[in-house]
Amino acid sequence: MCGIVGMVFKNPFSARDALTSLKRLEYRGYDSFGIADSNGRIQKFVGEIDETKAGDRLVNTTITHTRWATHGNVTEANAHPHTDCTGSIAIVHNGIISNFSEIREEMKAEGHRFASETDSELIAHFFEGKNIADSIPPFFAKFKGEYAVLLIKKGEDAIYAFKRGSPLVLGIAQDGYVLASDIYAFSDRTGNAVFFNEDEFAVVGKNGYEFYKVNGKLEPSEKQVTAFKWMAEETKKDYEHYMMKEIKEIPEASRRLLDSLEAEQRESVESIVSLVRNAKRIVFVASGSSYHASLLGIQFLRRAGVEAHAIVASEFKNFTLIDENTLVVAVSQSGETMDVIEALHGIKARGVKIASLVNVPYSTVQRMSHSHINICAGQEVAVAATKTFVNQVLAMAYIASLLGYAMDMRSVTGVFNSVFAQEARIKDVAKTLATARDIYVLGRGFSYPVAREIALKLKEITYIHAEGMMAGELKHGTLSLIEQGTPVICLAPKGDNDIMSTAHEVAGRGANVIMFSDEARGGIKIDSTGKVSFSVMAAMAGQLLTYYIAREKGLPIDKPRNLAKSVTVK
């Protein structure tokens, strides 16, 4: 989940520019950051990226890193880059070395001295005193886990790059090259990229690059340059936080998606519809908010007469059986979610078709798919999924509508502003919930996945324990936790009398009931044109409620503790 950027240019550039490119990847981790150059200088800092820390010095080759801590606490010593014993080799690493303890003990016995608690430092020590290219096959044979690594040697204007599992891409700029975890690091510089495949190694110098396949030895690999387009918003504009900006972008993002599905992505849509029709069953694989969107997706498809299931990516191999009659639909905002990628590994070779819904073009998940849809949400910087969640839901509903689920997609986008009209009321409710210890969110049918999504947002951003659950399950245990003043949010689409009965039941036990319904009823009014519309509007209201609770508590809304936007480790 860390972000790495390496730059090598024909002409000297400011080290500050390198950190500016790294800043674009800060959503991948923001515990600490660092920079190393080919002159041998290394700087490391705890906290969010501050470009000014690099000073005004000029460099030709540099590697940088922004960290989401896995091995070792958040300290300056554990920040990247890391070096070997001599200081002649510096590396940055995204991923996890799974046999870290074993290798560390071996290296200690060989006399290596370690300056950090990290698994990453071992990589620098492995290459100490060795020819880098010659040592790549033995490295891949010895080091288990996932890694994208950038390595430089003092006095050389070249970057050695290699990957297994974790994402890595080369950007081809006008006068040099940028290596990074994803294209957003250099999308302001160039629209041309070369994507690393699994087990590949590259040597990138200021005058060119060479790629090799690592297969027990190095084999030259021919690579294609891909032209890409990536729409990104880099500033918060007039908003205090990216999260609010991105919530307010939902109407525009949803209209952009629907226009795209009906025009430039029409062929991709038809391909996925055909894959669904030819499959015996559909299995969604996703994590976090994307999983909750998938829980809605299977309801849409089932109402179109399609057998559909959703599996949490990290448990995919334990909970599902797939064969050549199965269509697996991978759902991932970044397209680099490691749990999703792990689930997809190997199934293509078994004749299983893969479709995907992603937000980042040319991502690993997209490139593993037979067919894909870009959800067109644009760059989402805040950790919380907001417009990406809504667009995932709308993309799934659109596919279901083409398979027989009767609904008017455009009617959904027509009532977005009704949620924003409730903003003052949502602020008032947020003030009453800011001191809550626990919040329960109840839903049924279509509103159940939304209940889980709202609860996730509350946990992520407000640090309040929240549980989203099926309302019918409340009486099978959780009801014992309801006491005087316990906040319970009830999602009540029009005509859902069962959820109203549940609301009365918890109110009778002293709960502070907050209704999300078509009537005010002392809660938050949700205008909708149907169940899909209610699900989307209730999710948006939950996003706003979460935002204002966190703001009331003075929390770091865009960068909550311990989390990162793109989860690229298992």
Compute the residue count for the chain. Answer: 570
The three-state secondary structure class of 345 is coil
* Spatial contact of 192 and 22, defined as CB atoms under 8 Å apart: no
CA atoms of 221 and 206, how far apart (whole Å)? 19
How far CA 153 is from CA of 134, 137, 292, 426, 454, in Å, comes to: 15, 19, 45, 55, 48
The structure tokens 């950090």 sit at 116
Catalytic residue check, 490: no
Token code pair at residue 378: 């644009």
Burial classification of residue 483, based on how many CB atoms lie within 10 Å of its CB (0-12 exposed, 13-18 middle, 19 or more buried): exposed
Helix (H), strand (E) at residue 447 = helix 447-457
Query: What distance lies between CA 7 and its chain's CA centroid?
Result: 24
Catalytically annotated residue among 2, 376, 490, 525? 2
Nearest to 2 by CA among 170, 185, 206, 128: 185
Burial 330-358 (b: 16+ CB within 10 A, else e): bbbbbbbbbbbbbbbeebeeeebbbbbbb
Token code pair at residue 418: 């009704």
* Antiparallel, parallel or unpaired: β 169-172 and 158-164: unpaired
For residue 430, give every residue at least 6 positions away whose Cβ sits within 8 Å of its Cβ, in sequence order, or none: 545, 548, 549, 551, 552
Catalytic residue check, 213: no
The one-letter code for the residue type at 534 is F
Catalytically annotated residue among 213, 559, 565, 570? 565
3-state secondary structure 367-419: HCCCEEEECCCCCCCCCCCCHHHHHHHHHHHHHHHHCCCCCCHHHHHCCHHHH
Nearest to 82 by CA among 69, 97, 98, 63: 63
The three-state secondary structure class of 433 is helix
Burial classification of residue 425, based on how many CB atoms lie within 10 Å of its CB (0-12 exposed, 13-18 middle, 19 or more buried): middle
The structure tokens 């007039």 sit at 238
The one-letter code for the residue type at 404 is G
Token code pair at residue 228: 């890409």
The structure tokens 């730059």 sit at 7
The structure tokens 């891949």 sit at 140
3-state secondary structure 187-255: CCCCCEEEECCCCEEEEEECCEEEEEEECCCEEECCCCCEECCCCCCCCCCCCCCHHHHHHHCHHHHHH
Q: Using only the alpha carbons of the chain, give its radius of gyration.
A: 25
Which positions are annotated as active-site residues?
2, 565
